[in-house]
Amino acid sequence: MKRPDHEKKARGKLDRRKFLKAGITGAAVGLGAGLGWQLWPRKQEAQTFIAKAADYRTDFGKLISAGLKELGVGPEQVRHKRVLLKPNLVEPHARAACINTHPQVVRGAAEAFLRMGAKQVLVAEGSGHRRDSLLILEKSGLAEVLAEDHIPFVNLNDHAGWRLGNRGGWSALAFFHLPAILRDVDLIVSMAKMKTHHWAGVTLSMKNLFGVLPGMIYGWPKNVLHQAGIQESILDINASLQPHLAIMDGVVGMEGDGPIMGTPKSAKVLVMGTSLPAVDSVSARIMGVDPDKIPYLNTAARVLDPRVTNGVRQLGENIEDVQTTFKLLERIPAQRNIRLA
């Protein structure tokens, strides 16, 4: 796909050292002292809520409600708000629980926010690998769940209307074309899948936001972002959009050649937080991956939410009690030497 005329030509690939250095420079120019990742007051320390979930028969509405309460997200922050849930919908396989965010986890999140008085909960996705988001929605089993619960779905691939400046500066993209619905909602929740990744090492809540950019502008599989640099684009999107919450589906994740060609990995865990860098750092550690060895996670922890560099307070379960080693492949450069010591 031809790059939009307004986009500057992206820089070449950065090695790890240059990448981290560029991240610091980008932050100094574009971000200032810090980011407001949430609508509620920031605590002095980053924290996540970790919960065990044996399988997808778990009462996720109850579990997510408990997690939000522990994180300090209550009715006063949610009442009368419009909440957008952004799952990870990649391939149209109903039985491939390791590829897409599971419908029951999405249902549980919708229930939790509606119980707290949300004005509306909607689900939105712009799938990157397949052009037909509605086909994936149907085949994944999520369409049936949303219909039963009267939850609307927005195909982000077909919408634009909001031009948001790039507040990050890691890539050469000047701004982002986004669906206007992202501007109009009050809370954006990244509902990612815990997976390894062929190009980024791991794909978690921050990488999941590639799906908010419309394919009709950015191509398939979001070619413009790949050309601009995957890891740079992850940082830029999160710095610019500033999502509010993350709910990580790690009940069944994916190991090996993710995010599509890998194999199922039963981690039996849900990770939640109001800081996406914190959620991703903790999720990586649960997978047996050192977040400091993943360039975009390292930079996000130091720049997007510096609290993470001082450690993340775990609410609920301890990391050690849910940790499970995800398989990494030596033949994939992004997965080499990232194992947690």
Please name which of 242, 87, 65 lies closest in space to residue 154, comparing C-alpha atoms: 87
> Between 93 and 321, where is the model more confident?
321
Q: Which of 126-130, 162-166, 295-299 has the lowest mean pLDDT?
A: 126-130
Q: Which two tokens stand for residue 299?
A: 């930079």
Please name which of 76, 25, 36 lies closest in space to residue 299, comparing C-alpha atoms: 25
Cβ contact 92:140 at 8 Å: yes
Average pLDDT over residues 5-22: 41
Q: Which two tokens stand for residue 40?
A: 């509620």
- Alpha-carbon separation of residue 44 from 41, 51, 282 (angstroms): 10, 22, 17
> Between 44 and 307, where is the model more confident?
307
Q: Highest-confidence range of 83-87, 134-138, 158-162, by mean pLDDT?
A: 83-87
pTM of the model: 0.89
The per-residue pLDDT for 24 is 39
Query: SS3 for 102?
Result: coil
Q: For residue range 171-180, what is the model confidence (pLDDT) as tens digits?
A: 999 999 999 9
pLDDT surpassing 70 at residue 2: no
